[in-house]
Amino acid sequence: MAAPNDFRIEIGGIAMEVGQARMRPVLMTALTTILVMLPLALGLGESGENWAPMARAVMGGLTAAMVLTLLVVPVIYVMVELKAEKIRWKRETKLQA
């Protein structure tokens, strides 16, 4: 089994590749919905004042979800995988000793 440092480089590269592959669809979906909600959030049109808070909430939620999906989730995944690999490596070295 490889040392934890070798695994760290491998899992980091995998997370970057997956992040790049998922970025375009996530951005396209979130940004189109956010941009479509913009006139509603500004309160334009009939009864726009009534729907503006809902539009702002949707825009904020989508923005937060986009950031979580593209940044936070991959970082947490890498951290958990590195910790698990470190535990596996320590167990293996104890068994070999």
Per-residue model confidence as pLDDT tens digits over 17-44: 888 888 899 999 999 999 999 999 998 8
Tens digits of residue pLDDT in 40-93: 999 888 888 899 999 999 999 999 999 999 888 888 988 898 898 889 888 888
Q: Domain limits of the chain?
A: 4-91
The tokens of 44 are what? 């334009």
Do residues 1 and 88 make contact, with C-beta atoms less than 8 angstroms apart? Answer: yes
